Amino acid sequence: MVVHCHQDACLHELHKEDAISAAVAEFSWDLKYAGAQILISEYFFEGDSSLSNYKNHADSFICSNLPQSPYHQTYTTPGGMVHLRDGANTQYVTGTAMLFTAYSDLLAKYNQKVSCGDQQFDANHLMDFAKKQMDYILGKNPNNRSYMVDFGNNPPKQAHHRGASVPVLSPNAVISCPMSFVDYYNKNQPNANELTGAILGGPDRHDNFNDQRWESAMTEPCTYTNSQAVAVLAKLASPGAKSS
């Protein structure tokens, strides 16, 4: 039997019948529960009480990441950055900030709050936290430096990126893989080509950062880091958003 329904209605039924949910403290490229939970929470706010579990799990994600929450469990550096693990850690920073931004919009739209034990947090609390994460990446941190290439104060110069670090060569140039490490990779000098706007992996759990391309955990840029940052920055740049 073929069931015909409006796209939103079908999606709604799929969420209720086939979805699996769990309380998580992380949002990343291979753990997306929290993102789905926040999106589905809008149906709960619109009156579908059968989806309360998703809303509770969305709240749990917020409570696990918000430093003021009594249920806070995600590590934050002394400077205030979310740090889950070394290796492109800024993906977790921008991902968390993106979900906080999205949920902040929903809380404001439906006049709701997140309850973490005996404390409640409104849309402004969530947006403030998202903004602090982006401020950290863009320069408001213990090192007083930006982690976005060619932006802000003392931005990184040695992104772990082949296209940015290898200079333009003649058409007939012979490239030796072993020698490329000597000629380009291991040279302690700025990259030859632009990579404007790329957010690099960022500091370790102690806010330490080494701007050297062989420190890939700190200097490698990732598309999924930047893509998540776009949503937060667009919100912050919108009329009425708080200024830095």
The CATH number assigned to the domain with range 7-237 reads 1.50.10.10
Would you list the domain boundaries of the chain?
Answer: 7-237
CA distance 88 to 138: 15
Average pLDDT over the chain reads 91
Identify the band that residue 119 occupies on the pLDDT scale cut at 50, 70 and 90.
very high
Query: pLDDT confidence of 10, banded at 50, 70, 90?
Result: low
Tens of pLDDT, residues 23-81? 999 999 889 999 999 999 999 999 999 999 999 999 999 999 999 999 999 999 999 99
Residue 213 is encoded by which pair of tokens? Answer: 């391309």
Question: What is the structure's pLDDT at 22?
Answer: 87
Place of tokens 């990184």: 156
Residue 156, helix vs strand vs coil:
coil
pTM over 0.75: yes
- Interatomic CA distance for residues 117 and 138, integer angstroms: 33
In which residue are the tokens 């290898």 written?
166
Residue 17 has pLDDT above 50, yes or no: yes
pLDDT of 244 higher than 50: no
- Percent of the chain at pLDDT > 70 equals 90
The set of residues, in sequence order, having a beta carbon less than 8 Å from that of 14 and lying 6+ positions away, is: none
